[in-house]
Amino acid sequence: MFFIFGTKNRQKEISSGNFYCPHCRVQRAYKLMQVGQYFSLYFIPLFRIKDLGQYVVCQHCEQSYKPEVLNMKVPVEQILTARDRLVLSIQKELQEGMPVHMMKRKLISQKMDEPTTEQYVSEALDGKTISCTECGFEYIAGVQRCLNCDRELE
């Protein structure tokens, strides 16, 4: 009697989820695979001899990556909706020192309706405002100077 033995590589899925696939450039489903070298007898893998590591496969493009890909941060623009992006750009302008009412006027002049303007601006402000004690102009918290009076806000 003689034995046919050898080694065989086998992979099994250890987890799955969503990740940012660098190839697809969007969120995709992935499978995290574990590769092991098994001792086999008559071509049947019996037990694991060696860990050959793990890799991540994109379920869409089937590219494989090192597990570190799972820690990769999704570029912010990729997960933001057009609406979020707009609110962020409003916030940025406010932070650059634009008074709140001027911001609203600007949006309305760009054909944004009033309720939407109020909604987006209030989201951008996030309840953090500062008013000029001299003229009453309102700004997003953190703005240093009143554009109207050219004086420091406190």
What is the rounded (10 degree) CA torsion for 80, 106, 94, 136?
A: -150
Phi and psi dihedrals of 153, rounded to 5? Answer: -90, 145
Residue 87 found at the interface with Zn ion (CB under 5 A):
no
DSSP at 41: E
From the list 40-48, 97-105, 107-115, 146-154, the region that binds Zn ion by CB under 5 A is 146-154
Cβ closest to Zn ion, residue 28 vs residue 31: 28
Q: Write the Ramachandran bin of 83: left for phi over 0, alpha for psi from -120 to 50, otherwise beta.
A: alpha
Q: Using CB under 5 A as the criterion, what x/- string covers residues 94-133 for binding Zn ion?
A: --------------------------------------x-
Out of 105, 135, 142, 144, name the contact with Zn ion by CB under 5 A. Answer: 135
Out of 34, 60, 93, 130, name the contact with Zn ion by CB under 5 A. Answer: 60
Structure tokens, 26: 């969007």
Phi and psi dihedrals of 143, rounded to 5? Answer: -70, 135
Residues 6-45 that bind Zn ion (CB under 5 A): 21, 23-24, 28
Residue 148 found at the interface with Zn ion (CB under 5 A):
yes
Whether 37 and 8 have beta carbons less than 8 Å apart is answered as yes
Out of 14, 76, 108, 149, name the contact with Zn ion by CB under 5 A. Answer: 149
CB 64 → Zn ion: shortest distance, Å?
10
Out of 134, 141, 144, 145, name the contact with Zn ion by CB under 5 A. Answer: 134
Whether 30 and 49 have beta carbons less than 8 Å apart is answered as no
